[in-house]
């Protein structure tokens, strides 16, 4: 993690912690698309660089906002003030304010989800509801039998904000994109995770992976990354190994990219859903995310506490 002199941010909902984008990223995407995107020496749209995908806009729209997709300028300003006030009043928070990314609403939007129109994740299928209930029961049980019972994030192996798909967190919302003719590499600062995406039209592999098996192609000026073969341990917001993810990266200006993703898992959600996240160029650099250092003591403490809890109070 890194220490930056940044403004306060926080957690907008229990489900996901959200950060923000620099102000220059909030220019109208429609007007930016009129510009000709830069291209590589071999002719592909050039997405290379370091990009920040933080935003205060929540993944899901608050129910009371119903079909209201954007706020007025006055409403947005009030929302941001209230957001920061809530953060300042929080008793505890991951990291500290000098680690947090800047906060602003993205184009005054009320949700990152653009489809369904209500800005909310579709209902769970009956099968997914049963799995969610079992998972909740396991969490409430408390005791941990082994290291494999711990989440991938606790074990410094994978983080929800890294994805795929990528979702904003309170810090380390940086991704570096590398390109050659044959491959695109998507390298996230959080947990230093990297996806190497073949661009040569080869079929998907057969091995299931935490970050899935990705293949890329160009549709006009848009990089499309199609990912399947997720591990059942990935669990993106309750997804199963049947998750199908399609990500679209479109250069919308000299310093902006529109990141759009659609997730589909018929065993989990009643319908596919889509979110759009603005990405802004940042100077960087990408820093090492040294999560494992000292983490052994944390794991020992978690497991040791569980064993002590099982024994009960000493007489």
Return the residue matching tokens 């930016």: 32
Return the residue matching tokens 């341990």: 233
pLDDT at 4: 36
**191/289 Cα distance (integer angstroms):** 6
Q: With 0-12 CB in 10 A as exposed, 13-18 as middle and 19+ as buried, what is 122?
A: middle
Per-residue pLDDT reduced to its tens digit, 169-188: 888 899 999 999 999 999 99
Per-residue pLDDT reduced to its tens digit, 226-271: 999 999 888 899 899 999 999 999 999 999 999 999 999 999 999 9
Handedness of CA 121, 124, 128, 133 (dihedral sign): positive
CB of 298 closer than 8 Å to CB of 201: no
Those residues with Cβ within 8 angstroms of residue 199's Cβ, 6 or more apart along the chain or in another chain: 181, 182, 183, 184, 216, 217, 218
Phi then psi dihedrals of residue 237, to 5 deg:
50, 45
Give whole-number Cα distances, 116 to 61, 124, 145, 224, in Å: 11, 14, 40, 21
pLDDT at 140: 65
**314/26 Cα distance (integer angstroms):** 58
**244/240 Cα distance (integer angstroms):** 10
0.85 surpassed by pTM:
no
Decide: helix, strand or coil at residue 245.
strand
* pLDDT greater than 80 at residue 81: yes
Read off the DSSP letter of residue 24: G
């Amino acid at each position: 993690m890194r220490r930056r002199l940044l403004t306060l941010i926080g957690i907008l909902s229990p489900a996901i912690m959200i950060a923000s984008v620099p102000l220059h990223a909030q220019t109208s995407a429609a007007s930016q698309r009129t510009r000709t995107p830069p291209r590589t020496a071999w002719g592909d749209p050039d997405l290379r660089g370091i990009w920040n995908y933080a935003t205060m806009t929540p993944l899901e729209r608050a129910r009371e906002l119903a079909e209201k997709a954007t706020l007025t300028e006055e409403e947005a300003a009030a929302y941001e003030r209230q957001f920061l006030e809530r953060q300042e009043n929080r008793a505890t928070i991951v990291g500290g304010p000098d680690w947090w990314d800047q906060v602003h609403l993205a184009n005054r939007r009320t949700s990152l989800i653009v489809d369904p129109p209500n800005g909310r994740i579709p209902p769970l299928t009956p099968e997914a509801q049963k799995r969610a209930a079992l998972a909740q029961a396991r969490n409430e049980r408390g005791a941990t039998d082994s290291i494999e019972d711990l989440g991938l994030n606790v074990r410094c192996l994978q983080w929800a904000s890294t994805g795929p798909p990528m979702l904003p967190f309170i810090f380390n919302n940086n991704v570096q994109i590398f390109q050659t003719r044959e491959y695109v590499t998507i390298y996230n600062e959080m947990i230093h995770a990297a996806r190497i995406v073949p661009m040569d039209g080869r079929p998907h592999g057969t091995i299931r992976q935490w970050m899935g098996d990705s293949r890329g192609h160009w549709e006009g000026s848009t990089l499309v990354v199609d990912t399947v073969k997720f591990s059942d341990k990935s669990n993106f917001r309750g997804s199963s190994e049947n998750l199908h993810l399609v990500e679209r990266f479109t250069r919308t200006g000299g310093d902006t990219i529109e990141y759009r993703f659609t997730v589909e898992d018929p065993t989990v959600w009643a319908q596919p859903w889509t979110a759009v996240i603005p990405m802004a160029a940042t100077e960087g650099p990408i820093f090492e995310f040294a999560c494992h250092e000292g983490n052994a003591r944390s794991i020992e403490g978690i497991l040791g506490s569980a064993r002590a809890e099982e024994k009960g109070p000493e007489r």
